[in-house]
Amino acid sequence: MDPLERHRQMVAQFPENELARFSLGRALFDQGDFTGARENLVQALRKKPDWMVVQILISKCDLELGDRAGAIAGLERARDLALAQHHEGPLAEIEGLLADLQP
């Protein structure tokens, strides 16, 4: 069974599990299904609103889907989470993405 199918089965079995949703969302993102990825990542974030990595991925989906304003808002939220959680590596990535989005 391919990994994507395994993740889909986990979500089918445990639809409220945020880790299953994240794993499926990440797999879909990696395959270029940004709409499907975003849907699953948003559900994961609802269960765990301070999950910075998920917020970053949602913002990247927004970028890929052409929602620049949504991506900027999401990255600003991710930056706040990174600062609050003292995550320097992701903070640098977020700052770089935000800088790239400046006019």
Q: How many domains does the chain have?
A: 1
CATH number at residue 77: 1.25.40.10
pLDDT 10s digits, 4-58: 999 999 999 999 999 999 999 999 999 999 999 999 999 999 999 999 999 999 9
Helices 68-85, 52-64: inter-axial angle, 10-degree rounding: 160
Give the number of C-alpha atoms closer than 13 A to the C-alpha of residue 3, restricted to the C-beta side. Answer: 9
List, for residues 52-99, the tens digit of each pLDDT value: 999 999 999 999 999 999 999 999 999 999 999 999 999 999 999 999
The phi, psi pair for 14, rounded to 5°, reads -130, 70
- Residue 48, domain extent: 3-100
